[in-house]
Amino acid sequence: MDRIDADRLLGDLATLRSFGAHGNGVVRTMFSEIDVAAREWLVERMSEAGLEARIDGVGSVYGRSPNPGPAVVLGSHTDTQPEGGWLDGAMGVIHGLEVARALLADPATSHLAVDVASWADEEGTYGGFLGSRSFVGALTDEDFQATNADGESVQQVLDRLGWADRPRAELDPARHVAALESHIEQGPHLEHQGLRIGAVTAIVGIRGYEVVFSGQQNHAGTTPMDLRKDAAMAMFHFCSALDDRLRAAAGERSVWTVGQVSVEPGAPSIVPGRATIAIQFRDADDTVLDRMASVVEALVAERHSPDGVHVEITDRRRPLAPAPMESGVVAHVSAAAEAIAPGAWTHMPSAAGHDAQVLAPHLPTGMIFIPSINGVSHDFAEDSDHADIVLGAEVLADAVVRILS
């Protein structure tokens, strides 16, 4: 397929990268001055491509095709983490722009309707997924009170920018038939397998627990070992057993993390009286998540000792369910991948969260991955091969034509 203009695509990505460039990476957090400038540039670029583009009432940039539906929505996000890479989100937005203008310019496809979005606040500088959640009608008043690290709320910043009363882009079931998000993988799997395209089957779900160990605080010199109720030592043994048992219960791509630990009072000469850990695990399959959850629950029940260290679950994080991509869209993405990159693609889950998981319950949604060099993301070092960036756009364009034909 020659309808994608590689120089134009990479040129726009380079320009977007210049907004907030920081060494190899980018700092462009939501609603920062540089983020607003990038959004204004994107509106111009979309308008030049023939889209009816504007910044909407929550800060998303939305470019509507002049063609009547059925329409496919393409896009991702242009906001970044406080230390972000140049492709996370940005690639999917510029891919959408390039595919929309390429299809509009080709007489064979100029009748197809492709809308393009840069969804606001995917990275959670405020509440996270603001733009995509607004699009599917899931925002509440509470979302407008979410604040950034400086304490400014979404409502305050929208008022300050003069965007608060603007209409918001909305999902139109009579027009929108599918959504596609292309993105860097942000992990190592494609690179390790020597593959170039991932047809995403589902976005992982997340479960989380807080577990508290309550023992007896005492003097670290005078308390004999056999009389101790050491909360920290109980916690270390628990974590070691947890790791072994989760390894046995988990799926091939399950991940688990004890990312937060506190020991109280936390002094070298005090036997700790209390310890708290946060356990999180992720998988694309709810039955695997159930299995991992029962490992945690069983281990807590087993280790709970009323005479020694009490172990209990004090918080179960609200489960985030896996978001399956729609099978018809996945089939079109797979067919496009096989046509453009025969033998160099695979089905795979997404281990990271994306706007696509917000859209998926509301309209048929799919995702396309390209490899991340060394599997690195959320870091200035994030990068991908330019040839893979172009290939991803070609697969995206082909998938759109298949969906709309």
**Residue ranges binding Zn ion (CB under 5 A):** 88-89
Q: Which residue is nearest to Zn ion (CB)?
A: 89
Comparing CB distances to Zn ion, the nearer of 92 and 208 is 92
> Closest approach of Cβ 281 to Zn ion, in Å?
21
Comparing CB distances to Zn ion, the nearer of 63 and 89 is 89
> Closest approach of Cβ 200 to Zn ion, in Å?
13
> Closest approach of Cβ 80 to Zn ion, in Å?
9
> Closest approach of Cβ 172 to Zn ion, in Å?
25
> Closest approach of Cβ 45 to Zn ion, in Å?
20
Comparing CB distances to Zn ion, the nearer of 3 and 183 is 183
Comparing CB distances to Zn ion, the nearer of 113 and 130 is 130
61, 122 contact by CB (below 8 A):
no
Comparing CB distances to Zn ion, the nearer of 89 and 131 is 89
> Closest approach of Cβ 186 to Zn ion, in Å?
7
Comparing CB distances to Zn ion, the nearer of 89 and 208 is 89
